[in-house]
Structure 1
Amino acid sequence: MISKFQKHLSQNLSFLAHKKLLLAISGGIDSMVLLDLFRKSGFEIAIAHCNFQLRGQESDGDQAFIENYSKKNNIPLFVTQFDTKAFAEDFKLSIQVAARELRYKWFYELLESNQYDYVLTAHHADDNIETFLINLSRGSGLEGFTGIPVQNDKTVRPLLPYSRDEILEYAKENSIEWHEDSSNASDKYLRNKIRQEIVPVLKSLNPNLLSSFQNTVENLQQSMSLVDDASRIVYRKVVLDEENQKKINLKELLQLPNYKAYLYQWLNPFGFKAWNDIYNLVESQSGKQIFSDGFKLLKDREYLILSPQTEIDREEKYWIEENQEQVNFHLKLSFCKISSIGTTTNTTIFVDQNKLKYPLVLRRWEEGDVFYPLGMNGKSKKLSKFFKDEKFSLIDKENTLLLCSENQIVWVVGIRQDERFKIETTTKQIIQIALQE
């Protein structure tokens, strides 16, 4: 296997040559074979071992085993311990997901702090088919059936072409020691059930299962490439990218006979799961929202608006003192005394300083707010009605700030000035207030 492995590296992973490699080693058979292969192939390597403290003395025994191995073979070693259960409980994650997040975050910190180029894991062909079947059982888009990637950013998986049987045979032939993880025998994990009960049946039906599966994965990867190409082309026609949000034009979207597939491709990376709710959102009334862990999707008239999910403190306020020239509170404002006025715009207004009562206040809008829009000849308007007439989305309204003098609105910032504070022929002192980019 060693010559076959080295040929695989030179033909398919040649970018690893002359690089500093960090090997993720648990102490199990797969990772110990990976370690042996790279040690014998002359690469500059180091070991990274995570003790997840999930199996008591067994976890500590794995750590001691790796420490002894690295010392005996003079290989640099990095070890860390995680309180995995506490992390899983704090962030409401499964143990498996918590362990994955913890280890990969640590691996990438090691790469950066110690100038290693790649982290290598011991995933192999059987892991690949198990992952495929897990995704099949849970329901997945096409990307869930394209296999574990050989490379994902700085993570590389050199053993993917090799089966569990090949790895076991190599370990026995080369007298490689390893520690067996007792949790691999537990039937409470879905992966173990698939490994122990389903894959053996499939292999009995087709002795060449892994080879056939690899052909299937390659075909699906090519299909996925076509999907990605089509998705990018249509995206440019249907989605408007703005600074903090993406706006999906529903009129354009609904002209597509398979629009649900495009919505899935565009929104899946943002953690959405309730796909039927999302598809129904297209036809729902304005104002309805669907949330993922970090994002929200809002139906707003002719658009679906995707934006980060943020906690907005409605009571948050910022006071502005007289003679203050700069403000940086969610946006940037400048205050400047001038002798003559220019043109009032959405981003620059001119007010009579003598009409202002300090300190001024920047705050969020509230139900019941009323102002006198400049240009409406002194007529008042509820801010909620103004937003409706201006076709503000829920997100636009959430992000709107008001500049106020006592209880009176001076400016719906970046939108419209209030008539009561405009420059008159009797004005003696003029303040220019500008919204900075």
Structure 2
Amino acid sequence: MLERFINHVRKNNILDVQSPYIVAVSGGIDSVVLAHMLQSNGFNIAIAHCNFKLRGAASDADEAFVINYAMQLGVPVYVKVFDTAAYMNEMNISLQMAARELRYNWFEELNSSLGTQGVLVAHHADDQLETVMLNLLRGTGIEGIYGMSSKRDFIRRPLLPFSRQEILLYLEDNGLEWREDSSNEKTIYKRNFVRHNLLPLFSVFDPKGPELVQYSFDRIKDTGKAFFYFFDNWIKANVVFEEGYEMLPFSSLVSVPGKSSLLFYWLRKKGFVYAQIEDILCAIESQEAGRQFLSGSWMLNIDREGLILGKQQEVDKPIQVGLDDVAFSVIGQYQYNCVKLNAGVLIDRSTENAMLDFDLLDFPLTLRNWEQGDRFMPLGMQHFKKVSDYLIDNKVPLIKKDRVKVLCSKGKIVWLVGFKVDDRYKIRPTTRKVFYLNKHKDEKPF
């Protein structure tokens, strides 16, 4: 095993014999063996031990054992005592989660303060299989098959390819002592239940059952990598990123195989969960235009031709635009140049910008979110129209309606920002001065 171990860590660039590392040692079989193999092969290691104070005198005996073991190996040892129960109550989490957070937070601090190149933990092949089975029982997707990685952030797991049986043989061959944690036998913990009740059934079915299951998981893992490769290309080809929104046409989704997975992996980074995907697909199939799905600060809008994803818009406080604001005044999600010009300039007919009769305006102007009941007279019309009706007629998606602003003078709308100037404030032959609001082209939306 020792030769295979050295070849494994070198071939896969997991460890460098010239670099210093910390080995997390609980006193159990796996970590005792890992520390022994590393020290025996000239690796520069120190030992770290966590005393969680959960088993009374037994926890203190574990600590004493690890300190003595470090002395035998001739390596430094660092010990941290935790009040795990108090942390669990303070954070309102499970006991196992509390111990995990305390352990890894301290490992990260220790690794940083000592300048070591990583913290080595003794997870092995049996642990990997337990992790994958637990992930499946929790309902995780294809990434649940991935299990633990040999290298992630500052954590290194050099024993992952090796079975518990191989580690036991090394322990016996080298006459090593260890400490048994009685909590490992308690099947009230889900991992222990899987370890003692579920995984042994694989060996009953076939002596090589655990190896065959892990082999299958490895193949699925490789298939998963292929999926994510094609998924990334599908995103690049189909999702349009525009003005802070992500838009996916129905045509890019409904006819492809595996659309539930494609939709989930697109949305999950915004906090959407798989349970919402079926509802979203049903809404698409039923053509429920206008329906919304929420996740944290994000909103998914079923529009007429596709899905629109964007942040939920909070109601902004009104902004005052004064006479002196001739540089960059924030309007909507963009910045605009506010410029006073002489009449006779070339008319800008872009709906993104506005040209208003300066003498008809009462400053300061007010920029605010549009509200139900707001009315204005769209350019070219001689009667009022509700803003809500105007947005509906122009097929503005519901998710975008919340971001629409109005610029007002003495409470009267002079511009539906990004859409139409109010006809009453347009420039005309008698206009002497023009108030020009021009979108700053280099400014990205907030």
The TM-score by the shorter chain falls in which range?
0.7 to 0.9
1:300 and 2:293 matched: no
**1:109 Cα shift?**
6.9
Among 259, 277, 301, the alignment partner of 2:279 is: 277
**1:43 Cα shift?**
3.8
Among 408, 413, 417, the alignment partner of 2:417 is: 413
When normalised by structure 2's length, the TM-score is: 0.80
Counterpart amino acid of residue 335 in structure 2 = K
1:289 and 2:292 matched: yes
Q: Structure 1 residues 326 and 233 mapped into 2: Cα distance closer, same or farther (>3 Å)? A: closer
CA-to-aligned-CA distance 1:321-351 (integer Å, 9 cap, x gap):
3312333475323322233544142333222
CA-to-aligned-CA distance 1:181-219 (integer Å, 9 cap, x gap):
554333333222111211122223322233223321232
Q: Structure 1 residues 141 and 406 mapped into 2: Cα distance closer, same or farther (>3 Å)? A: same
2:45–2:75 Cα contact (<8 Å) kept: no
User: More deviation in 167-176 or 214-223?
Assistant: 167-176
In structure 1, the residue matched to 2:426 is 422
In structure 1, the residue matched to 2:139 is 139
Among 343, 351, 359, the alignment partner of 1:346 is: 351
In structure 1, the residue matched to 2:375 is 370
1:70–1:77 Cα contact (<8 Å) kept: no
Quote the Cα distance in structure 1 between the aligned partners of 2:109 and 2:243.
Answer: 29
Q: Structure 1 residues 388 and 51 mapped into 2: Cα distance closer, same or farther (>3 Å)? A: farther
In structure 2, the residue matched to 1:239 is 239
Q: Structure 1 residues 87 and 237 mapped into 2: Cα distance closer, same or farther (>3 Å)? A: farther
1:147–1:217 Cα contact (<8 Å) kept: no
2:46–2:75 Cα contact (<8 Å) kept: no
Quote the Cα distance in structure 2 between the aligned partners of 1:99 and 1:399.
Answer: 45
1:52–1:84 Cα contact (<8 Å) kept: no
2:51–2:79 Cα contact (<8 Å) kept: no
1:215 and 2:219 matched: no
- Structure 1 residue matching 2:418: 3-state secondary structure: coil
In structure 2, the residue matched to 1:256 is 256
Quote the Cα distance in structure 2 between the aligned partners of 1:171 and 1:23.
Answer: 17
In structure 2, the residue matched to 1:318 is 319
Q: Structure 1 residues 184 and 363 mapped into 2: Cα distance closer, same or farther (>3 Å)? A: farther
For structure 1, list consecutive stretches of 5 or more residues without a partner in the other structure.
Answer: none
2:118–2:156 Cα contact (<8 Å) kept: yes
1:414–1:435 Cα contact (<8 Å) kept: no
1:350–1:433 Cα contact (<8 Å) kept: yes
Among 392, 397, 402, the alignment partner of 1:393 is: 397
In structure 2, the residue matched to 1:404 is 408
**Aligned length in residues:** 431
**Which is greater in Rg?**
2
Quote the Cα distance in structure 2 between the aligned partners of 1:27 and 1:353.
Answer: 80
Q: Structure 1 residues 40 and 270 mapped into 2: Cα distance closer, same or farther (>3 Å)? A: farther
Counterpart amino acid of residue 362 in structure 1 = L
User: More deviation in 138-147 or 396-405?
Assistant: 138-147
Quote the Cα distance in structure 1 between the aligned partners of 2:421 and 2:27.
Answer: 68
Counterpart amino acid of residue 391 in structure 1 = K
Counterpart amino acid of residue 348 in structure 1 = N
Counterpart amino acid of residue 324 in structure 2 = N
User: More deviation in 62-71 or 391-400?
Assistant: 62-71
2:299–2:399 Cα contact (<8 Å) kept: no
Q: Structure 1 residues 429 and 128 mapped into 2: Cα distance closer, same or farther (>3 Å)? A: same
1:6 and 2:6 matched: yes
Quote the Cα distance in structure 1 between the aligned partners of 2:341 and 2:49.
Answer: 65
2:143–2:224 Cα contact (<8 Å) kept: yes
Q: Structure 1 residues 195 and 336 mapped into 2: Cα distance closer, same or farther (>3 Å)? A: same
CA-to-aligned-CA distance 1:282-321 (integer Å, 9 cap, x gap):
224123233345644332222122334x5x4326333333
- Structure 1 residue matching 2:256: 3-state secondary structure: coil
**1:102 Cα shift?**
6.8
Quote the Cα distance in structure 2 between the aligned partners of 1:142 and 1:182.
Answer: 33
Counterpart amino acid of residue 247 in structure 2 = K
1:27–1:66 Cα contact (<8 Å) kept: yes
- Structure 2 residue matching 1:282: 3-state secondary structure: helix
Quote the Cα distance in structure 1 between the aligned partners of 2:416 and 2:68.
Answer: 68
In structure 2, the residue matched to 1:203 is 203
**1:56 Cα shift?**
7.7
For structure 2, list consecutive stretches of 5 or more residues without a partner in the other structure.
Answer: none
Q: Structure 1 residues 215 and 320 mapped into 2: Cα distance closer, same or farther (>3 Å)? A: same
Q: Structure 1 residues 319 and 76 mapped into 2: Cα distance closer, same or farther (>3 Å)? A: farther
Quote the Cα distance in structure 2 between the aligned partners of 1:14 and 1:237.
Answer: 36
Q: Structure 1 residues 266 and 313 mapped into 2: Cα distance closer, same or farther (>3 Å)? A: closer
- Structure 1 residue matching 2:437: 3-state secondary structure: strand
